[in-house]
Amino acid sequence: MLLKTECGRLLRLPCVAAVLAGPVLLGACSRSDARHEDTSASQASASPKSAAACTGDNAGLKLPAGFCATIFADTIGHSRHLVVAPNGVVYVNTWSGAYFQTPAHQGGFLVALRDTNNDGRADVIVRFGRNAPADSAQPKTNGGPSTKGPGSEKSGAGGTGIALYNGYIYAEEGPTIVRYKMRADSLSPEPTAEVVVSGLPLSGDHPMHPMAIDAQGNLYMDVGSATNSCQLKNRVKGSPGHKPCTELETRGGIWRYDANKLNQQFSPAGRYATGIRNAVGIAFAPDGQLYSTQHGRDQLAENWPNLYTAEQGQNLPAEELLQIKQGGDYGWPFCYFDDKQARLVLAPEYGGDGGKTVGECASKIAPVAFFPAHWAPDDLMFYSGTSFPQQYRGGAFIAFHGSWNRAPGPQGGYQVAFVPFTGGKPASQNQLETFADGFAEGKMQPDAAAHRPAGLAQGPDGSIYVADDKGGRVWRITYVGGNR
């Protein structure tokens, strides 16, 4: 039986089908050879000029009036999350190997992008990380080389998570979080990778580990669920849920580690919050509060047709924005959020009756905001800049990767949307504004869409960057309008 996860992978359970990336090129415009990586990073501009004229089609995106988009880089691989250094250099984690069924990139899974002439396009691209030339950046564990990696022991397949903290680049690479020490005179960091956390679970439906690091060095990391709803037989019609759901001991939550400490081992002891199926978007608000998105579960109608119509399966459950609290339980797999009732209700695997019964869900933590079902919120970014108009400041941007399972209706998502915040909380539980659209180029299906937004980051000048893991494109969006 062929299925697709909410990230759009084809699954012939338990096998993963291929999603092919385009060829890896150096970009969409004239630029330096990526092999010439020892150009000084200090030459990068921290504030590329945003007053340059927009291209006629805003690089294919539909944006609010006054905003401009350029293609910052293109065909760099399955670009997932990204960060921007204070000097304006953009760093991207690209993911290959078993998840996307594509080979690892020569030169490394991490990509540094720099715009030296302020035209809104990266003219220097440098790859680094594991599997770099001469294999110069092999992660070390207790003095020896790591031999673990997704799909291949030496694949350098990368992943989703990436962060900057205290002079280091932190990145997810297969079953490890590694860090590289930054260098002032080069885009690429020191070649030796240090292991911060190892032994991360990679099995099942959600093997990604996005992260966020606070000013104190607390590293918060998503560990997504291995299954859809903790059934005895995953994604099988009528299969009940495990009681207890022992998967929650090592999956389905957020874990906390010390970003300043090396060679930590993943374990149940690091769990910070639980009951979160897949928190791919994870970020701090301007007030320091940690938030995450949650990918809602799949297949209510397919697996429980006696309880849900096809239309209900299309529109349930809602995607969620969660305010993360230490020790918090957000309900998965026992509950899902019904946006029509605006409450958590009992899942059918655990005695639910189609949304009537609340049961133990009354004690779980509900989302602070919710969104259309199956849109797949893959990244979360709070805007702290001043170059965008006032209404965007302090609010949340969300990259919706796009759905695969909203039949019989049309698919949804494939956009970057905005959630206004007022007084440190969402202005409304269900207010969502489309900010950037057109990524799919009219083909809103995982395999047909030209691009699928997966990552968001803010530059030092207040511009934002959007990464696409389908075509390997990165856009830069600036505000060039009038009053702010």
Mean pLDDT of 213-237: 98
Mean pLDDT of 27-51: 37
Q: Which two tokens stand for residue 447?
A: 């395999």
| DSSP conformational letter for 272 | E
The dihedral through the CA atoms of 373, 376, 379, 385 has a sign that is negative
Q: What is the pLDDT of residue 30?
A: 30
Mean pLDDT of 300-319: 97
Taking residue 312's Cβ as centre, other Cβ atoms within 10 Å add up to 18
Helix spans in 258-407 (H) = 300-303, 310-315
Q: Is 348 helix (H, G, I), strand (E, B) or coil?
A: helix
The model's confidence at residue 408, banded by pLDDT at 50, 70 and 90, is: confident
End-to-end Cα distance, the chain: 52
Q: What is the pLDDT of residue 3?
A: 38
Give 460 or 145, the one with higher predicted confidence: 460
Tokens 């695997």 -> residue: 349
Taking residue 393's Cβ as centre, other Cβ atoms within 10 Å add up to 18
Rounded CA gap, 229 and 219, in Å? 27
pLDDT digits (tens, 9 = 90+) for 149-197: 333 234 478 999 999 999 999 999 999 999 999 998 899 999 999 999 9
Mean pLDDT over the full length of the chain: 86
**Phi first, then psi: what are they for 52, rounded to 5°?**
-60, 150
The model's confidence at residue 140, banded by pLDDT at 50, 70 and 90, is: very low
Mean pLDDT of 323-337: 98
Rounded CA gap, 57 and 63, in Å? 10
pLDDT digits (tens, 9 = 90+) for 420-467: 999 999 999 999 999 999 999 999 999 999 999 999 999 999 999 999
pLDDT digits (tens, 9 = 90+) for 40-81: 344 444 444 444 557 678 999 999 999 999 999 999 999 999
Which positions ≥6 away from 218 have C-beta within 8 Å? 256, 257, 258, 259
Rounded CA gap, 194 and 140, in Å? 6
Of the candidates 350, 393, 345, the residue with the CA atom closest to the CA atom of residue 370? 345
Tokens 């670009």 -> residue: 79
The model's confidence at residue 107, banded by pLDDT at 50, 70 and 90, is: confident
pLDDT digits (tens, 9 = 90+) for 250-279: 999 999 999 999 999 999 999 999 999 999
pTM confidence score: 0.86
Per-residue pLDDT for 16 more than 70?
Answer: no
- Strands 319-323, 369-371: pairing kind: antiparallel
Q: What is the pLDDT of residue 193?
A: 94
The model's confidence at residue 99, banded by pLDDT at 50, 70 and 90, is: confident
Per-residue pLDDT for 100 more than 50?
Answer: yes
- Percent of the chain that is helix, strand, coil (3-state, to 5): 10, 30, 60
- Strands 110-114, 90-94: pairing kind: antiparallel
Q: What is the pLDDT of residue 484?
A: 63
Tokens 């070390």 -> residue: 140
Q: For each of the domains in the chain, give its residue range(s) and CATH number, in order of start.
A: 2-479 (2.120.10.30)
pLDDT digits (tens, 9 = 90+) for 447-460: 999 999 999 999 99
Q: Is 77 helix (H, G, I), strand (E, B) or coil?
A: coil
The model's confidence at residue 131, banded by pLDDT at 50, 70 and 90, is: low
The model's confidence at residue 136, banded by pLDDT at 50, 70 and 90, is: very low
Per-residue pLDDT for 108 more than 80?
Answer: yes
Give 350 or 148, the one with higher predicted confidence: 350
